[in-house]
Each structure stands twice: as structure tokens, then as C-alpha cells.
Amino acid sequence: MAADIWFDDSANDQDRPAERGSLSGYVLCCGLLLFSARAPIPMGSNRAIFWAMNTVSVGAAGAAYFGWLGRRGTAPRIGLDQLAPLPILYALLVFYLIAQLVRFPVAGLDPISMAPGATLWMLLRLITYGMLFFLVLQATRNRERFNLFFTGMLTIGTLHAAGALVMLRMGDTLLGYEKWAYLGSATGTFVNRNSFATFMALNCCPGAALLIQALPEKRDEDYRYDYYWLRSALIGSAMMIIMAALVASQSRMGALAAALGTLTTIFFALLATSRRKRTFFTAAGVVLASCLAIGWLYGEQLLNRMLDVEESRSIRAALYRRWWS
């Protein structure tokens, strides 16, 4: 299957938590989960000081990981050549941001960026995202750690989503303080509802993958049968809470990102299972039922914003024309 090409289970007999090599993988995996759970809490890391703290944390984790590899004399579990052409595209984007900051030694020729400080912070965040992405790939190459990481991400997303719904219903606050933006929208610990909705959309992807993974595991034995339904119910419930918070955020961008991300995840997950027909219709039924139920409960305001997209487009287009002229 397609999944077998990605996972490296060749060392299963030696890959025990008690072994040093395996322990490092679990430490890295758990550290990344703790970071993912903490990062959104201080106002969604909306301030520059938190961006810098996240960069230091991820950079330290990367330095420790590569230092450990150097001591053992081994290569990363996943090399850049296995990710082609992603590293090339990523490098082009980094150089594009750097080019906007260059001060040319020509009189009257200023940097391309209209806000060099903001561009520099964007460059810092982009490098942090790249290192975090690379570390996650290293930690999840093993099948057991992959399941651990995805389950952990779904749990983290569910807790943040539940907290956002509670804060919305109990005074519409931000960590107990009065909100100054996006009143009436679920934002959780974030300041911007689009950022919160994107975080929720991100957690829809592991939920969809875990749900599809659980579906083909049904067996005739009673204990497997009960486990199958319990696991599927827990994953489905978690996804419903996440989608409820996503819709309550009233973010059009977040709803689109969740739809595209979930559909993409389902598509690639189906390539890795032999029971595609049954899996597709079961997953599609669960997702569709969840969307209808949540849309009926929370979706009126989001639907109204969807209908106003043409007005928003006109306003932003006029702003872009004014800037260009």
C-alpha cells in the first residue's frame, strides 16, 4: 500500500521505548506535541515576542536533534532528496523574502518591502515553520509515533476548540479578558478569528486521517468490534467539536481551508487502503452529517458572511488598486 512506502518499520524488533534510538524519537514526538499545545495559548502567539520565543524553542529542538544525529554518526530518517521538489520551492520563498529586505547601494532605490520589520518577522516565522515541519517528519516516520502524534494533535485541537466554545458562551472573552476584536466570533486563545479557524482546520486533517484509518480495522471478534466503534465514536466526536468551533469563528478562509485540507487528507488516505469504497462512503457520511448538524446549530452567521463575499472582494480590490497606483 501507499502508506508502506512512507513508513520505516524495518527496525521494529529494535524499536522499543527502552532503546536509546527509539526513546529519542518518542522524546522528540512528545516535545513537538507539547510545543503545539502551548504555542496558541499566549494570544495565539500574536505578538513578536512570542514569535521569537517559538523560533528559539524550535531552533533549540533542531540543534539538539542534529547534534544527537552527529554523535551517533547517522543521517536524518528523512532526507531532503525524499521531499523534492518541496525544499526547492521553500528555498525560493525564503530568498524571495530576503530579496525584499535587501538595501541596494543605489541612491533612491529603497527595499522592495513597504514594511521591512514585518517582512523580517515573516521570514523568521517561515524559517521556524520549515524547521518544525522537518522535525515532525523525523518524529512521525515510525508508524507508532505517527499514530501517537496524530492522536495527540487531534486531542490538542479538541481541547482548544472546546475552550473556545466555552469562552464564547461565557462572556465572549479572551483568556478571561474582554475582547477588543471579533466580538461574537469564537477565537479561543487567538486574537484573530482567521488564525484560530486555520488552527482548527489544521486539526481537521489528522481527525480525518485517523477516522479513515480506524474504519478498515473492523473485525468479527467482539473485543475488536467494540474497540472499533469506541475509537470511531471518539474520533467523530472530537471532529464535531473542532468543526463546531470552526463554524462558530465565522471565518470564511478557515472554512475553505478546512474543506480543502480534509478532502485532500481523505483522498490520500483512501490511496493507502484497499477498502476504498466502503471507507469513502462511511467517512463521507460522517463528515456530511457532522457538517449539517453543526451548520444548523452555528452556521447562520458564517453563511451570511459567505453571501457578503462579493462586497468584501470589491472593497479589497479598490484598496489594492489604490496601493498599486
| Final residue before a domain boundary, out of 141, 159, 187 | 141
Give the domain extent around 123. 1-141
Same domain, 136 and 149: no
Same domain, 97 and 190: no
Same domain, 181 and 264: yes
pLDDT tens for 174-206 read 888 888 888 888 898 998 888 899 999 999 888
Same domain, 242 and 325: yes
Same domain, 209 and 294: yes
Question: Is-contact 137 25, C-beta < 8 A?
Answer: no
| Final residue before a domain boundary, out of 84, 108, 141 | 141
Query: 3-state class of 17 per DSSP?
Result: coil
The Cα–Cα gap between 240 and 298 comes to 12
The grid coordinates listed for 270 are: 483512501
**Given this model, what pLDDT does residue 14 score?**
41
**Given this model, what pLDDT does residue 249 score?**
86
Q: 84, exposed or middle or buried, with CB in 10 Å at 0-12, 13-18, 19+?
A: exposed
The grid coordinates listed for 109 are: 532605490
Same domain, 129 and 148: no
Q: Averaged in consecutive runs of 10 residues, what is the pLDDT profile of the chain (325 residues)? A: 50 41 78 92 82 90 89 83 88 90 69 79 90 91 87 94 91 84 87 90 87 63 60 85 87 82 80 61 62 57 55 60 62
The Cα–Cα gap between 75 and 293 comes to 48
Same domain, 90 and 170: no
Same domain, 29 and 93: yes
**Given this model, what pLDDT does residue 161 score?**
94
**Given this model, what pLDDT does residue 4 score?**
47
Cβ count near 13 (within 10 Å): 7
Same domain, 280 and 172: yes
**Given this model, what pLDDT does residue 229 score?**
75
Same domain, 95 and 165: no
**Given this model, what pLDDT does residue 259 score?**
82
The Cα–Cα gap between 237 and 252 comes to 23
**Nearest C-alpha neighbor of 44 from the set 244, 259, 200:** 200
**Given this model, what pLDDT does residue 15 score?**
43
Same domain, 131 and 165: no
Place of cell 460522517: 286
| Final residue before a domain boundary, out of 141, 172, 191 | 141
Same domain, 218 and 277: yes
Domains identified in the chain, total number: 2
